[in-house]
Amino acid sequence: MIDKIGSSYIYTGSKAVKKSNPLPKEQDRKTDGLEVSDFGQVLSRSMAESKKIPDVQQDKVDAIKSQIESGTYSPDSFSIAARLIAAGILED
């Protein structure tokens, strides 16, 4: 089996390697770049502004929580049902 291995696979010691492609000079190097489209810039600004708005309206949550704790909370069941049907959660 070993005799079938060609001489290119047998290590014969290291040889000096000649540098064929030297690195370009700093002024000749190309730099990578990135351009953001106008839409991308608008989208980025919009997302930054939307992050400033809280996800939860804490004042409304606190008001409903205090109503529930005091026993005075009475949700409008007709309005809730209509919204569920409109959202496709309930079927006719």
State the pLDDT at residue 24.
66
* Predicted TM-score (pTM) above 0.75: no
State the pLDDT at residue 10.
57
Asked if 67 contacts 73 with a C-beta cutoff of 8 angstroms, the reply is yes
State the pLDDT at residue 27.
66
Asked if 92 contacts 86 with a C-beta cutoff of 8 angstroms, the reply is no
What's the CA gap between 72 and 67, in Å, rounded?
Answer: 5
pLDDT tens track, the chain, 92 positions: 556 555 555 556 666 666 666 666 766 667 777 888 899 899 999 999 988 888 888 899 999 999 999 999 999 999 988 888 888 876 65
